[in-house]
């Protein structure tokens, strides 16, 4: 199949292209599109065959449920007959935006979309192209991140093409995404609402709206032996082709540890990469050193994270050593993704 890439500069001027993309989805096809978090791979969420195609194109395990993207608040009620009051409060506070809520599904949502679960994940993205596409597609678009299963999520249309060219009908290219890591997921079917995946919307922000919120112990690094509740969080994820190892501790010690490890890997004949920050990059010796940004700017680090991981793939690096990051606010989501990408390999110095 030929994958058509369409640049979208303006939703009004490019309305025709978005209409064509919507027609593809309504006919059961696949279209990748930008959201504020990462690029999504869209299909009609209410069409079992279309949902199945997503798993095939991504090489995704079929027990890993998809998020249903909507563009109108009232459409949430069509997906679930048993909405808790917290669903209404959270959607009003954070939609459109990077928050996915999990509620009981009703019969219009096929099990192909929910990976066999009786619950459904729903979000309203905050991106004009995504919202326009969802409207043109009939209102309910199932969309995982538009990467091959296991690879870093795409933050540029080019990343989508690298992974899925020839497997999907169209890519809407809306430029670089704004946030760069996937939405926060909160499960509202538990007695105490539970975060299954950390993201830009933090626990504190959620607690201000609905009171007590737990974090699924399965997503915390120190508890990586526990089974996470979001099926997708148990798979190896976000991983570059090279081995990735994180080093955590006080700055001076981290720099010298990474240089020591790089030196050893170099002697073993490996091509070595380092992920540092603007503050430390000049002090590293490796084949490739990439700065992820200024340490204090968590939002910029989140935006660059997956792009940096993909850049090492293009440079045939065998092993990457990365600094670790503090975990207030969005830092928790950054470390969650980095730890998963590293297969939880972390050295404390
Ligand atoms: O920011 C995002 O959420 C992006 C953009 C495209 O919207 N989408 C995204 O989808 O990250 P995906 O499929 O890559 O990740 C969805 C996660 C998976 O870990 C999946 O297991 C979990 O959500 N999930 C979906 N439905 C669920 C459910 N009913 N119960 C528990 N976990 C669920
Ligand atoms: Mg994903």
To test the pocket of ligand 1, the residue of 58, 182, 305 to mutate (highest count of ligand atoms within 8 Å of its CB) is 182
Question: Residue 3 contacts by C-beta under 8 Å, 6 or more apart in sequence?
Answer: 161, 164, 165, 166, 167, 168, 169, 170, 171
Per cent of the chain over pLDDT 90 is 87
Which domains, from first to last, does the chain contain?
Answer: 4-220 (3.90.870.10), 243-348 (3.40.50.11030)
pLDDT of 145 reads 97
Work out the mean pLDDT of the chain and round it to a whole number: 94
- pLDDT per residue over 239-279, tens digit each? 888 999 999 999 999 999 999 999 999 999 999 999 999 99
pLDDT of 232 reads 72
Q: Which bound ligand lies closest to the C-alpha atom of 147?
A: 2
C-alpha torsion angle, residues 334, 340, 343, 344 (rounded to 10)? 60
pLDDT of 112 reads 96
CB 210 within 8 A of CB 186: no
Closest atom of ligand 1 relative to the 100 alpha carbon: 3
Question: Is the confidence at residue 135, as pLDDT, over 70?
Answer: yes
Per cent of the chain over pLDDT 70 is 97
Separation CA 183–CA 284 (nearest Å): 33
pLDDT of 228 reads 72
Q: Any idea what DSSP says for residue 227?
A: P
Q: Which bound ligand lies closest to the C-alpha atom of 37?
A: 1
- Answer whether 65 contacts ligand 1 (Cβ < 6 A): yes
Alpha helices in the chain (DSSP H): 15-26, 48-58, 75-79, 85-94, 128-136, 157-164, 203-210, 251-267, 298-314, 331-341
Q: Which bound ligand lies closest to the C-alpha atom of 98?
A: 1
- Answer whether 40 contacts ligand 1 (Cβ < 6 A): yes
Q: Any idea what DSSP says for residue 232?
A: G
pLDDT of 327 reads 76
For CA atoms 299, 300, 303, 309, the dihedral sign is negative
pLDDT of 219 reads 74
Distance 175 CA to ligand 1 centre (A): 22
Question: Is the confidence at residue 221, as pLDDT, over 60?
Answer: no
pLDDT of 202 reads 96
- When pLDDT is cut at 50, 70 and 90, the band that residue 46 belongs to is very high
Distance 232 CA to ligand 2 centre (A): 7
CB 240 within 8 A of CB 312: yes
- pLDDT per residue over 176-212, tens digit each? 999 999 999 999 999 999 999 999 999 999 999 999 9
Indicate yes or no: pTM above 0.85: yes
Separation CA 135–CA 22 (nearest Å): 8
Peptide bond into 96 cis (omega under 30): yes
Separation CA 54–CA 197 (nearest Å): 21
CB 302 within 8 A of CB 37: no
- When pLDDT is cut at 50, 70 and 90, the band that residue 238 belongs to is confident
Ion ligand 2: residues, CB < 5 A: 145
Closest atom of ligand 1 relative to the 39 alpha carbon: 6
pLDDT of 326 reads 83
């Amino acid at each position: 199949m030929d994958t058509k890439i369409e640049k979208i500069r303006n939703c009004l001027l490019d309305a025709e292209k978005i209409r064509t993309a919507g027609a593809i989805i309504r006919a059961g096809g696949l279209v990748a599109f930008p959201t504020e978090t990462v690029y999504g791979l869209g299909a009609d969420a209410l069409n079992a065959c279309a949902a199945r195609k997503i798993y095939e194109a991504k090489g995704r395990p079929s027990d890993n449920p998809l998020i249903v993207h909507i563009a109108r608040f009232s459409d949430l009620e069509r997906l679930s007959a048993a909405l808790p009051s917290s669903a209404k409060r959270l959607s009003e506070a954070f939609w459109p935006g990077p928050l996915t809520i999990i509620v009981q599904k009703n019969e219009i949502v096929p099990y192909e979309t929910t990976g066999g679960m009786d619950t459904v994940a729903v979000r309203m993205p905050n991106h004009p192209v995504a919202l326009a596409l969802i409207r043109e597609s009939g209102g309910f678009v199932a969309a995982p991140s538009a990467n091959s299963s296991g690879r870093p999520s795409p933050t540029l249309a080019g990343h989508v093409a690298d992974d899925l060219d020839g497997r999907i009908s169209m890519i809407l290219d809306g430029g670089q995404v704004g946030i760069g890591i996937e939405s926060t997921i909160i499960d509202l079917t538990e007695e105490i609402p539970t975060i299954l995946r950390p993201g830009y919307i933090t626990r504190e922000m959620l607690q201000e709206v609905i009171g007590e919120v737990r974090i699924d112990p399965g997503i915390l690094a120190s508890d990586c032996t526990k089974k996470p509740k979001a099926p997708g969080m148990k798979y190896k994820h976000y991983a570059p082709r090279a081995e990735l190892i994180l080093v955590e501790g006080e700055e001076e010690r981290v720099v010298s540890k990474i240089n020591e490890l790089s030196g050893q890997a170099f002697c073993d004949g490996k091509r070595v990469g380092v992920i540092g920050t603007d503050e430390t990059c000049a002090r590293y010796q490796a084949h490739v050193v990439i700065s992820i940004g200024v340490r204090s700017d968590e939002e910029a680090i989140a935006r660059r994270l997956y792009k940096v991981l993909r850049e090492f793939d293009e440079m045939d690096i065998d092993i990457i050593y990365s600094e670790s990051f503090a975990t207030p606010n969005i830092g928790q989501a950054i470390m969650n993704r980095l730890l998963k990408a590293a297969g939880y390999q972390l050295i404390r110095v």
